[in-house]
Amino acid sequence: MSLAVVTLKKGEGRTIKAGGAWIFDNEIESIKGTFKNGSLVKVEDFDGYPMGSGYINQNSKIRVRMMTRKADQEIDDAFLMMRVKNAWEYRKTCVDTSSCRVIFGEADFLPGLTVDKYEDVLVVECLTLGMEQFKEKIAAMLREVLAKDGIQIRLVFERSDAREREKEGLPRYKGILWNCDAMTEEEALCYARHVHIVENGVKYEVDVIDGQKTGFFLDQKYNRLAMQKICKGKKVLDCFTHMGTFALNAGIAGAAEVMGLDISEYAIEQATANAKRNDLSDTVKFRMANVLDELPKLYEAGKSYDVVILDPPAFTKSRQATKNAIKGYREINMKGLKLVSDGGYLATCSCSHFMTEELLKKTVKEAAKAVHKRLRQVEFRTQSADHPILWAADESYYLKFIIFQVVEEK
């Protein structure tokens, strides 16, 4: 059966022509042939030039997501296995694979699909209708590829419970996708709540059922490692600590004293348990607090820290909200900078694609000027390499992380 053909308007398709994977609804001139939402279609330029194939969904503004740029490429099992093998080989080359992101959507040329590995557990997030038909097959292929390297996966859990699915006309869902014969469903669910991993020498227990995203933020792995040297022997304040990841990296590196703040009671419970798990309870403490309210209180109380770490949630998830997000980032950085002692260090970041590198740097510079602090950049970093940045796919570059030394104006 021949595929329907999507023809672009003249002058449109700039994203895919630059190497990206998306075709928007307003870029399409016509669709010839029959199709169902989620099915594969051929894509042609206005003049009939073949541009490859992808899957279509008329419920989404991103009308087509490209699977291949080759006009004659079939999207069959051999093609999917090639994508899976390439993704795993890349991770083996670039990162510690004990726990890592194995598939990162468009950046691994499998749009709409994320797979994270936590030791012997895989967590799958499928956000698009077109990828629904492939997710179980890809998970099975990944288990097969890992097994050849001696890694036996015990559980595959699906965390497709993000709101983005509703834009695709899909229900939000989470549950077991596959588990080994040795575990009953009840045992598998228990196992999913208590997955033990080690990252940068720090032990964690990850809950892949109810934890943030797929259970853990793997993208900051090497940024956390970079902070270990900075934090040794220092008094550290970790803001928006979540599971205590930056705080625990500071503690294991030999920080003198660490305080982690987070508004979530569940996060603080997890962080406290992780401190105990690493024998750091005497050094690393956690407290439930609204960071934006708490930082001015600490400043008024005369507190100061050798290192302040700011890892806030995304203040913007749309281009329209960027203006308000800039105010939020400026405010949090001003409050954090006031607490850094002279010659101390600030680590600040943004996990929003729309808060660009240039915009974040400009905002932090304005914050420093407002509180009369001078900044010396130690290092600029991005997301871990298992979250590859695909040039021309701007959405794949989202995490910006900057370490500064902070000095008083003298």
Does 126 participate in catalysis according to the annotation? no
Written as one letter, the residue type at 131 is M
Number of residues assigned to the chain: 410
* C-alpha distances out from residue 241 to 12, 285, 312, Å: 43, 11, 9
Q: Which is catalytic among the residues 126, 239, 349, 351?
A: 351
How far out from the chain centre does Cα 190 lie?
Answer: 25
Q: Calculate the CA dihedral of residues 313, 319, 325, 326 and round it to 10 degrees.
A: 130
DSSP SS3 for 295: helix
Q: Which residues of 184-193 are buried (b: 16+ CB within 10 A; e: fewer)?
A: eeeebbebbe
DSSP secondary structure string, 14-66?
Answer: HHHHTT--EEEGGGEEEEES---TT-EEEEE-TTS-EEEEEEE-TTSSEEEEE
Catalytic residues: 351
